[in-house]
Amino acid sequence: MAEPVVLHLDSITKRFGSFAANDAISIELRRGEVIALLGENGAGKTTLMNILFGHYVPDEGEVYIEGRKIPHGKPKEAIAAGVGMVHQHFSLAKNLSVLENVMTGTEPLSSWRSETAKGKRKLKSLEEKFGLLVDTDARVGDLSVGEQQRVEILKALYNNARILILDEPTGVLTQQEAEGLFKTLRAMAKDGLSIIFISHKLHEVMSGADKVVVLRAGKVIAERNTDATSKEELAELMVGRQVERPVREASKPGDVVVQARDVALHAGSTARLTDITFDIRAGETLGIVGVSGNGQAALCDLVAGVAHADHGTFEINGREVSHMTPRDLSSMDVGRTPEDRNSQGAVGELTLWENAVLERINDRRFSKHGFLNKREGRSYCQDLIDRFDVRGGTPNSRISLLSGGNMQKLILGRSLSKHPVFLLAAQPTRGLDEGAIAAIHQDILEARKNGTAILLVSEDLDEVVSLSDRIMAIHGGRLSPAVDAKEVDSRQLGLMMAGEWGGLG
């Protein structure tokens, strides 16, 4: 006998101007069921979940929870009805403790004291029940990303959520953390919790969901049980065509463009990078792999000019750049796609065209005598939109309204449009759909073909192997000797990431 329906989204439609983000979408979720919401960047997945949680008001349609119609635009009503949401970008107060974050909003303002002891007991019980262990007294800002996500989930459970929504839950997690998360979600579903998660990772969808709902251009175009479909079918349903990632062609790298020798970068008394040495030639991609937290972020900060070396040399085309600013490097035709596109790659309140010219603000095409040439900026931005297939906005739209994938395509296009001599590609396809990944891989390979020296930093091993000529592993702030990408296998990469690289080089 089928479990009862706990959630019914009935003909939900949401428009932004003339753009229909959601077009008459209907979905049913049953008790204990796990549904994956799949679609291209900009397909309307997050918009739909924000309507369910009360952040957005639909133009048409209704939300029913356990048969009761829920008022639109009222998150408190959604929470009271048993809906919990874990956003892609966590909504936690980093200066407060875990317990304070979880209990915030759960007690009436008229209470003369907080029932912290009672709250702590309830929180501990939830932690033990679902294996979501975290120090309840720790300051949230001191926790890892994976631990912060556990806090978000615990907060929803503390509010007695019966329906849990997770937006790109593994986008910032290591592979081990992601595997642990899905083990926890399965335990929750077995306990009767109903779950919807948004993901672009087809292997997660196939292993973590009972059913897949595929959105394209704001419409439901297919529903599939995971035991009756395949990754290949889902990818084709998602983008409307067969998706094939581009293949790296053999090439002959040119002269050395980037050279680092014995570079060290410290944070207080703790070494973040030690004895970093590598070369990258024109038309060559050097891939960096490693478990999150082993120095990748510090390495990216160093080569982008955000952090400066304590000793050693870092040169681009024979010029010492280890103490240059990002602005200096940009003037040398250095491009970058930073790891965090929202806080480091774009300014959310600015328009697409303003973000497009940010790194070229001194270019005479875009400014003269201190005045911006808005017409040229908009024209340049439209060229990027057309060339790199940026969807969901115009040059005058705020960039924060774009999906993550479309924002990433604009940032990468901004870097590649100036034909950089050196490109830093840090986590270039994190959180992107298969179609966007294929497009960005093609752009990176095209830059390599045109002679750009590329440093690729990614936690996606398949991505690094497919795009790189040589690969190095980073462990404890140190780099391994380089290996040929054509000759390495996953077992060897795993050992290198664990710091076992004796005999290499």
Mark out the alpha helices in 61-174 (DSSP H runs): 75-80, 98-103, 116-130, 145-158
Q: Which residues contact 76 (CB under 8 A, 6 or more apart)?
A: 54
Homologous superfamily in CATH for domain 1-82+163-174+193-242: P-loop containing nucleotide triphosphate hydrolases (3.40.50.300)
Residue 270: per-residue pLDDT: 59
Residue 230: per-residue pLDDT: 93
Give, for all 505 residues of the chain, the pLDDT tens digit.
678 999 999 999 999 888 899 999 999 999 999 999 998 877 888 899 999 999 999 999 999 999 999 999 999 899 999 999 888 777 788 888 989 888 887 666 555 666 788 888 998 998 888 888 888 888 888 887 778 888 888 888 888 899 999 988 876 666 677 788 888 899 899 999 999 999 877 888 998 999 999 999 899 999 999 999 998 899 889 877 777 788 888 889 999 999 999 999 987 655 689 999 999 999 999 999 987 778 888 899 899 988 898 999 999 999 999 888 888 888 888 999 888 777 788 898 899 999 999 888 878 888 887 788 899 999 999 999 998 888 878 999 999 888 777 888 899 889 988 889 999 999 888 767 777 788 889 999 999 999 999 999 988 888 999 999 999 999 989 999 999 999 888 788 888 888 888 666 5
Is residue 6 within 8 A of residue 63, CB to CB? The reply is: no
Is residue 491 within 8 A of residue 482, CB to CB? The reply is: no
Q: What fold characterizes domain 256-350+402-497?
A: Rossmann fold (3.40.50)
CATH topology identical between 1-82+163-174+193-242 and 256-350+402-497: yes
The residue extents of the domains of the chain are 1-82+163-174+193-242, 91-161, 256-350+402-497
Q: How many CA atoms lie within 13 A of 125 on its CB side?
A: 9
Residue 174: per-residue pLDDT: 64
Is residue 73 within 8 A of residue 54, CB to CB? The reply is: yes
Using N-to-C axis directions, what is the helix angle for 175-190 and 116-130, rounded to 10°? 100
Cβ atoms within 10 Å, residue 70: 19
Which residue in 324, 253, 306, 285 sits closest to 454, CA to CA?
285
Distance CA 1, CA 288 (A): 51
Is residue 43 within 8 A of residue 200, CB to CB? The reply is: no
The gap between the terminal CA atoms of the chain, to the nearest Å, is 61
Buried b (16+ CB within 10 A) or exposed e, 290-327: bbbebbbbbbbbbbbbbbebeebebbbbeeebbebebe
Query: Can you name the residues that pair with 212 across neighbouring β-strands?
Result: 36, 224
Label each residue of 19-63 as H, E or C: EEEEEEEEEEEECCCEEEEEECCCCCHHHHHHHHHCCCCCCEEEE
Which amino acid does the sequence have at 132?
A: L
Is residue 57 within 8 A of residue 5, CB to CB? The reply is: no
Regarding beta strands 311-316 and 256-267, do their DSSP bridges make them parallel or antiparallel, or are they unpaired? antiparallel
Rg of the chain over all Cα atoms, to the nearest angstrom = 24
Residue 102: per-residue pLDDT: 87
